[in-house]
Amino acid sequence: MDNISWVEDGADRLTGWHSESGAPAPTKVVVAQDALTADTAMRMVRAGTAILWRGDYHNARQLLKAPDRRVQRRTARRERGGVTFADHRAVRTERATLPGRLLVELEADHSLDLRRAPDVRAASTAAYGEPSGKVIALTELLGVIGAHQWQAKGVHVPGLGESVHPGYGVFSPVRGEYVDLVVNAPPGDPLPQTAFDLGTGTGVPAVVPARRGIARVVATDINPRAVTSASDNIAGLGASEQVTAVEADLFPEGRADLVVCNPPWLPGEPTSALEAGIYDPGSDMLRRYLSGLADHLEPGGEGWLVLSDLAERLGLRTREELLGWVADAGLEVVDRLETVPRHGRASDAKDALHEARRGEITSLWRLAAVTG
């Protein structure tokens, strides 16, 4: 853990610094309380100064909204004439960066010593492990609290008919259409006996093949939190005898009759571990899945690639590029199943990417190694 330092009440202070996105500790930190105005705070954060909050918790949450509102108003004027994906990402980055400079300190027991602050000890310990003093962005703490509530409540997955409990920093299966595709795809004849699920997240895509009768499923994820979350959900869904979650960078050892992958759909740089479920720099995971698939399939096996065409609609990747990668990997397309999204953004005319999302199609590509 890195450290962050500041001066408070005439004394030098030093404690741990944590940023889920890997941002370095701010070098200029000012302690502030309730008298700080939104305008002053905005000028400070724009100049690169971080604000360590010592006032009322709810006042901090209100202050957090001020720079966000200003960015939204300014960008709304730009978006009336149309917005590119690069514009959209720049706005998202700015909206994350400015509020991210409002900081709070977690005490050694993970408590938050602010007036009217909630008890965040359980949520912080679930996210960070053993308690220790640290300074974090208030936006990150709010994410920790929200994730803990989601984990306790669970997320219903229609394709399973049950709920799963995503851990902090693990992408939640809120878009159920990809699960439906895996549920409804032809299982093969004879039924596969082994399967891999790559980038499993909460473990949902690994449980579906097990419930369809596949005897052994290995689920992988590069994120240790995802492996823990997947293992917990696999156990909670009664699939532990068939499904094992392991930490791996894509493929596990060996071969399988079926290899399922739902990679991040958009080429781009993620700003956090959670965003790694959405953005895949240079389509790296997608390309490595395709290039390594033939070497990890049993004879006659299939690879299932679940992928949205949103990147194509945004001009970030072409269908010709995708098909070229498939051919270069010695693969052929056996079939393609399609569905339309059901998430709210697909019908939200206020969404900056509404035009692209409105026509979005999610496909399950059935791939096989070329023979002969």
Cα–Cα distance, 313 to 60 (Å, whole number): 39
Residue 359 pLDDT? 80
- Containing 244, the helix (H) or strand (E) segment is strand 243-247
Residue 178 pLDDT? 83
Residue 78 pLDDT? 53
**DSSP-assigned letter for residue 241:** T
How would you class 307 by CB atoms within 10 Å of its CB: exposed for 0-12, middle for 13-18, buried for 19 or more? buried
**DSSP-assigned letter for residue 160:** T
Cα–Cα distance, 6 to 38 (Å, whole number): 22
Residue among 149, 160, 150 at smallest CA distance from 182: 160
Residue among 206, 186, 204, 179 at smallest CA distance from 194: 206
Residue 243 pLDDT? 98
Beta-carbon count within 10 A of 103 CB? 26
Cα–Cα distance, 81 to 241 (Å, whole number): 55
Residue 119 pLDDT? 98
Residue 76 pLDDT? 57
Contacts of 126 (CB under 8 A, 6+ apart): 144, 147, 148, 151, 167, 168
Task: Quote the pTM value.
Answer: 0.84
Which three-class secondary structure state does DSSP give residue 37?
Answer: coil
Beta-carbon count within 10 A of 112 CB? 17
Cα 225 versus chain centre, distance = 12
pLDDT tens for the chain, 372 residues long, are 799 999 999 999 999 999 988 889 999 999 999 999 988 988 898 899 999 999 999 999 998 887 666 666 655 555 555 556 665 555 556 555 667 899 999 999 999 999 999 999 999 999 999 999 999 999 999 999 999 998 999 999 988 899 999 989 898 877 778 889 999 999 888 899 999 999 999 999 999 999 999 999 999 999 999 999 999 999 999 999 999 999 999 999 999 999 999 998 888 887 666 677 788 999 999 999 999 999 999 999 999 999 999 999 989 999 999 999 999 999 999 999 999 876 555 555 455 454 656 789 999 999 999 986
Cα–Cα distance, 279 to 285 (Å, whole number): 10
Contact 3, 14 (CB under 8 A): yes
